[in-house]
Amino acid sequence: MEPTQALLLASIKRIRKEKGLTQKDVAEGCGMLVPTYSRLERGGSNPSLASIVRIAAALGVAVVELFQSSDIKDRSLAQKLEMINSLSETDRGIVEILIDTVLEKSRLEQLQDVKMKKRLAELERVRKS
Protein backbone atom coordinates (compact mmCIF):
# COMPACT_ATOMS: atom_id res chain seq x y z
CA MET A 1 0.00 0.00 0.00
CA GLU A 2 1.28 3.42 -0.94
CA PRO A 3 2.15 5.80 1.94
CA THR A 4 -0.46 8.33 0.83
CA GLN A 5 -3.16 5.67 0.69
CA ALA A 6 -2.11 4.37 4.12
CA LEU A 7 -2.32 7.92 5.53
CA LEU A 8 -5.74 8.44 3.92
CA LEU A 9 -7.20 5.20 5.27
CA ALA A 10 -5.72 5.72 8.74
CA SER A 11 -7.16 9.24 8.83
CA ILE A 12 -10.60 8.06 7.73
CA LYS A 13 -10.65 5.40 10.44
CA ARG A 14 -9.23 7.75 13.11
CA ILE A 15 -11.70 10.54 12.34
CA ARG A 16 -14.61 8.09 12.21
CA LYS A 17 -13.72 6.75 15.65
CA GLU A 18 -13.06 10.23 17.08
CA LYS A 19 -16.57 11.22 16.02
CA GLY A 20 -18.06 8.06 17.51
CA LEU A 21 -19.34 6.84 14.15
CA THR A 22 -19.62 3.25 13.00
CA GLN A 23 -18.65 2.02 9.57
CA LYS A 24 -22.37 1.67 8.90
CA ASP A 25 -22.93 5.34 9.77
CA VAL A 26 -20.26 6.52 7.34
CA ALA A 27 -21.27 4.06 4.62
CA GLU A 28 -24.87 5.25 4.76
CA GLY A 29 -23.74 8.87 4.90
CA CYS A 30 -21.80 8.56 1.68
CA GLY A 31 -24.17 6.23 -0.16
CA MET A 32 -22.04 3.08 -0.02
CA LEU A 33 -22.88 -0.44 0.99
CA VAL A 34 -21.38 -1.30 4.38
CA PRO A 35 -19.19 -4.15 3.01
CA THR A 36 -17.87 -1.82 0.30
CA TYR A 37 -16.98 0.87 2.83
CA SER A 38 -15.47 -1.66 5.22
CA ARG A 39 -13.27 -3.10 2.46
CA LEU A 40 -12.20 0.40 1.47
CA GLU A 41 -11.31 1.37 5.05
CA ARG A 42 -9.23 -1.81 5.42
CA GLY A 43 -7.31 -1.04 2.24
CA GLY A 44 -8.96 -3.76 0.17
CA SER A 45 -9.82 -1.31 -2.57
CA ASN A 46 -8.63 2.08 -3.75
CA PRO A 47 -11.15 4.86 -3.23
CA SER A 48 -11.92 7.12 -6.16
CA LEU A 49 -11.69 10.86 -5.70
CA ALA A 50 -15.50 11.02 -5.73
CA SER A 51 -15.62 8.43 -2.92
CA ILE A 52 -13.06 10.38 -0.91
CA VAL A 53 -15.16 13.53 -1.27
CA ARG A 54 -18.32 11.68 -0.17
CA ILE A 55 -16.52 10.09 2.80
CA ALA A 56 -15.18 13.47 3.91
CA ALA A 57 -18.71 14.88 3.74
CA ALA A 58 -20.10 11.94 5.72
CA LEU A 59 -17.40 12.50 8.35
CA GLY A 60 -18.08 16.23 8.36
CA VAL A 61 -14.52 17.22 7.46
CA ALA A 62 -12.76 18.87 4.54
CA VAL A 63 -11.13 16.47 2.08
CA VAL A 64 -7.74 17.91 2.92
CA GLU A 65 -8.12 16.74 6.54
CA LEU A 66 -8.15 13.14 5.34
CA PHE A 67 -4.60 13.59 4.07
CA GLN A 68 -3.22 15.17 7.22
CA SER A 69 -1.78 13.66 10.33
CA SER A 70 -0.47 15.35 13.42
CA ASP A 71 3.12 14.57 12.49
CA ILE A 72 3.01 14.93 8.70
CA LYS A 73 5.98 16.96 7.50
CA ASP A 74 5.14 17.27 3.84
CA ARG A 75 2.02 19.38 3.41
CA SER A 76 2.35 19.63 -0.37
CA LEU A 77 -0.31 16.99 -0.99
CA ALA A 78 -2.74 18.78 1.30
CA GLN A 79 -2.02 22.05 -0.49
CA LYS A 80 -2.60 20.42 -3.87
CA LEU A 81 -5.92 19.01 -2.67
CA GLU A 82 -6.99 22.47 -1.59
CA MET A 83 -6.10 23.74 -5.07
CA ILE A 84 -8.06 20.89 -6.69
CA ASN A 85 -11.10 21.90 -4.64
CA SER A 86 -11.00 25.34 -6.26
CA LEU A 87 -11.02 23.95 -9.82
CA SER A 88 -14.08 23.91 -12.03
CA GLU A 89 -16.22 20.78 -11.97
CA THR A 90 -14.86 19.79 -15.39
CA ASP A 91 -11.25 20.16 -14.27
CA ARG A 92 -11.93 18.25 -11.04
CA GLY A 93 -13.41 15.48 -13.19
CA ILE A 94 -10.22 15.36 -15.23
CA VAL A 95 -8.11 15.23 -12.06
CA GLU A 96 -10.31 12.41 -10.74
CA ILE A 97 -9.82 10.41 -13.94
CA LEU A 98 -6.06 10.94 -13.75
CA ILE A 99 -5.89 9.87 -10.11
CA ASP A 100 -8.08 6.82 -10.72
CA THR A 101 -5.87 5.86 -13.68
CA VAL A 102 -2.66 6.12 -11.65
CA LEU A 103 -4.18 4.14 -8.77
CA GLU A 104 -5.39 1.44 -11.15
CA LYS A 105 -1.93 1.30 -12.78
CA SER A 106 -0.37 0.84 -9.35
CA ARG A 107 -2.86 -1.89 -8.44
CA LEU A 108 -2.18 -3.73 -11.71
CA GLU A 109 1.58 -3.46 -11.19
CA GLN A 110 1.21 -4.94 -7.71
CA LEU A 111 -0.89 -7.81 -9.08
CA GLN A 112 1.68 -8.40 -11.82
CA ASP A 113 4.46 -8.46 -9.21
CA VAL A 114 2.58 -11.06 -7.14
CA LYS A 115 1.99 -13.22 -10.23
CA MET A 116 5.64 -12.97 -11.23
CA LYS A 117 6.82 -14.00 -7.76
CA LYS A 118 4.49 -17.02 -7.85
CA ARG A 119 5.82 -18.03 -11.27
CA LEU A 120 9.42 -17.68 -10.12
CA ALA A 121 8.70 -19.78 -7.03
CA GLU A 122 7.08 -22.42 -9.22
CA LEU A 123 10.08 -22.44 -11.56
CA GLU A 124 12.40 -22.80 -8.57
CA ARG A 125 10.38 -25.79 -7.29
CA VAL A 126 10.53 -27.42 -10.75
CA ARG A 127 14.26 -26.77 -10.97
CA LYS A 128 14.87 -28.42 -7.59
CA SER A 129 12.85 -31.53 -8.43
Kindly state the DSSP code that residue 46 receives in the 8-state scheme.
P
Q: State residue 16 phi and psi, 5-degree precision.
A: -60, -45
- CB-based contact 2:45 (threshold 8 Å): no
Mean pLDDT across 52-62: 93
Share of the chain above pLDDT 90, in %: 39
Burial class of residue 53 in the structure, from the number of CB atoms within 10 Å of its CB (0-12 exposed, 13-18 middle, 19+ buried)? middle
Q: What angle do CA 12, 18, 38 make, to 5 degrees?
A: 40
**pLDDT for position 58:** 94
Share of the chain above pLDDT 70, in %: 91
pLDDT band (50, 70, 90) for residue 46: confident
Sorted by where each begins, the domain ranges of the chain are 3-128
Write out pLDDT tens, residues 101-126: 998 998 888 888 888 888 888 988 89
Return the higher-pLDDT residue of 69 and 45.
Answer: 45
Mean pLDDT across 35-60: 91
Q: Comparing 27-31, 36-40, 66-70, 90-94, which segment has the lowest mean pLDDT?
A: 66-70
Domain 3-128 sits in which CATH superfamily?
lambda repressor-like DNA-binding domains (1.10.260.40)
The CA distances from residue 98 to 91, 115, 116, in Å, are 11, 26, 27
